[in-house]
Amino acid sequence: MEESKAMKQQPKKNLWKPEEDFILRSYVETHGEGNWATVSQESGLMRGAKSCRLRWKNYLRPNIKRGGMSKEEEDLIIRMHKLLGNRWSLIAGRLPGRTDNEVKNYWNTHLNKNGLQDKRKANNSNSCKKNDDNNSDDGNNKKQKKVINQTCYPQPPLYRDNGADLAHDIQRRNQEENREKQNPSNMDDITSSHYNINSPMIPANNTTFNFDDEPYFDHLDPFFLFEAFGCSSVDASLDNM
DNA sequence: AACAACGACAACCGCTCGCTG
DNA sequence: GCAGCGAGCGGTTGTCGTTGT
């Protein structure tokens, strides 16, 4: 017990101090982003490359927006999460000034919780409390809650299985634009008849694919749909889900 | 007032991917 | 083709402030 008291009195080891922030910020401002491995050595920070990168990306970078999410942002997160699942970096890419970590935390604490509460209401409102009491394993309660969160709300399916990012999407779109210039009629097919706008994840009826079609399958990417058809169409499709 | 429980958020960890030699 | 390395991502954990008892 005394041991735990002593531990409580210890200063936090790992939170960034203002001095450290200052060092990192001035280092990045003079040397630029990247080469995080050398940052800790050259700047004198006793931090790992990952830690420095994360701190810069999430808190020190210019244009980082702090404070609570607006209603619009929250709404966007919810819709994007429906489309993308836990692709936090992609979702954050749609929220200027917000980071993936922030979006992720916000989801886990504010938004996911709502669903959990609904679920609890559906069962017995006291059951979870009871459950917590039974799990008097103290520190494990939080873990228990997390497991509940995950089991109540399985991840929506991913429509891509490897790390897609905006750069990828932009690159591909540029390729499509070039293709369009060469063969304009092709693109009409893609947006209007290959895919059912009201149900954008499903190709329209009577559509068959061969290997030549495969690149177009990438347009099942929700981002494409989001941009091509706008929020309202995606909303409509979500309503039908 | 003291303690426990909870909520929010910062930070870390492990894995994957892409680049380079 | 392959190993090594750095960067990035998502999941998880730790810490602290607030609220409830």
- The distance (Å) linking the CA of A12 with the C1' of C16 is 10
Residues (pLDDT < 50) of chain A are: 1-13, 115-221, 228-231, 234
How remote is the C-alpha of A12 from its chain's centroid? Answer: 28
pLDDT given for residue A130 in this prediction: 31
A101 CB and strand B closer than 7 A: yes
Nucleotides of C under 7 A from a protein CB: 5-16
Which pLDDT value is given to residue A96?
80
Q: Is the CB of A31 under 7 A from strand B?
A: no
Chain B positions with an atom below 7 A of a protein C-beta are 5-14, 16-18
pLDDT of amino acid A239: 52
Spatial distance from the CA of A194 to the C1' of B2 (Å): 66
Q: What is the pLDDT of residue A76?
A: 85
Q: Long-range contact list for A219-226, CB < 8 A, 24+ apart?
A: A219/A190, A219/A194, A219/A195, A220/A159, A220/A195, A221/A159, A221/A160, A221/A164, A221/A169, A222/A83, A222/A84, A222/A159, A223/A84, A223/A90, A223/A166, A223/A169, A224/A169, A224/A173, A225/A83, A225/A195, A225/A200, A226/A80, A226/A83
Confidence at residue A146, expressed as pLDDT on a 0 to 100 scale: 33
pLDDT value, residue A113: 57
CA of A57 to C1' of C7 (A): 12
Distance A104 CA to B13 C1' (A): 16
User: By C-alpha distance, which of A174, A162, A236 is closest to A199?
Assistant: A236
- Domains of chain A in start order, with CATH, are 2-60 (1.10.10.60), 71-152 (1.10.10.60), 166-239 (no CATH)
Q: Which pLDDT score, from 0 to 100, does residue A173 have?
A: 42
